[in-house]
């Protein structure tokens, strides 16, 4: 078995963790941690890691001033309950970056929004 643990740098781990938990109906196995969090699916699978900018000396996570956060990165989540996730997204964002539409390549409904740090997040129906 192989899994990826995508890690993004964020300005506030707790705010971002709550945001992703709300969007994805997920959990955090590092509650209260100010430096690192893992956003988990209901089966315990890690969906995304959140790392505070500048902590632990990771070169690509040192400062948001070294580049544009999210440039060249698309966080793409497939969800089983698209309508519920869309409802949650509408509570998190004043406006979606892309309204729900059928993606002709995946043949699935999807929408996009920006997270609190400006990362572009796309949610697709399985």
CATH assignment of the domain containing 27: 3.10.180.10
First to last CA, the chain: 21
Residue 101 lies in a domain: yes
Residue 2 lies in a domain: no
Residue 109 lies in a domain: yes
- Name the pTM for this structure: 0.89
Q: Which three-class secondary structure state does DSSP give residue 12?
A: coil
From 91, 93, 101, 84, select the one nearest 119 (Cα to Cα). 93
Residue 121 lies in a domain: yes
Model confidence pLDDT, tens digit, residues 77-105: 999 999 999 999 999 999 999 999 999 99
Residue 47 lies in a domain: yes
* Percent of the chain predicted with pLDDT > 90: 75
CA distances from 110 to 3, 71, 78, 82 (A): 23, 20, 9, 8
């Amino acid at each position: 078995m192989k899994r990826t643990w995508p890690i993004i740098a964020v300005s506030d781990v707790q705010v971002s963790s709550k945001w992703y938990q709300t969007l994805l109906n997920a959990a955090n196995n590092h509650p209260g941690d100010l430096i690192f969090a893992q956003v988990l699916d209901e089966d315990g699978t890690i969906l995304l890691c959140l790392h505070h900018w500048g902590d632990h000396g990771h070169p690509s996570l040192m400062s948001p001033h070294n580049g544009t956060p999210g440039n060249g990165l698309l966080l793409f989540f497939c969800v089983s309950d698209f309508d519920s996730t869309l409802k949650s997204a509408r509570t998190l964002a004043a406006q979606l970056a892309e309204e729900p539409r059928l993606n002709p390549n995946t043949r699935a409904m999807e929408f996009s929004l920006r997270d609190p740090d400006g990362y572009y997040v796309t949610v697709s129906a399985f």
